[in-house]
Amino acid sequence: MFESGLLPLALIWIVVGCVLSVIDIREHRLPDAIVLRMYPVVLMGLVVAGWVTGSWHWSRALAGAGIWLMAIGGAWLLTAGRGMGFGDVKLAPLLGATLGWLGWQPALAGLFCAWVLGGCWALGLLMLRRANRHTAVAFGPFLILGFWAAFAASSWVVTSSLGVAAAGS
């Protein structure tokens, strides 16, 4: 569920997500100077969300972070770092924790969307012969797009259900 308390963190993610995406597309890296500084920012953003709403979802946030870390970190380990960059591994728990605050469904949906979007992009490049099996594709932007797809969907679902509930009153 979307919580209005996450708005400040969402605004930060808009800026940071755009910056990280541009850097990853251009340089195929996610700089520690940005990613690692987001750890305390996300922590404080979740504290603000809890304070504003009075709802504290730490276990869900940790579960979301763990799910994203296991999936992305697992891909990194299985491919010995050739299929996934370590910057993606460091970014994943941040995005997962933010979505996890909303629930495990948005956390899973965001991760699923990232894989699907990245896979479709890679498949499109292969079909257009602009890439081969060994071509590196920046995955950070797809992690961020998957995050936003799930974040927006959770907001839409809650807004829609509130509208239906209000209309039925």
Can you tell me which residue has the tokens 């991760």? 111
Pairwise CA distance, residues 12 & 1, whole Å: 19
Cα–Cα distances (Å) from 43 to 55, 106, 148, 154, in that order, read: 15, 18, 19, 20
The better pLDDT of the pair 117, 135 is held by 117
pLDDT in tens, 49-84: 999 999 999 999 999 999 999 999 999 999 998 888
Closest CA to 147 of 34, 40, 78, 67: 67
| Residue 14: predicted pLDDT | 97
- Assess whether pLDDT exceeds 50 at residue 48: yes
Q: What is the model's pTM? A: 0.88
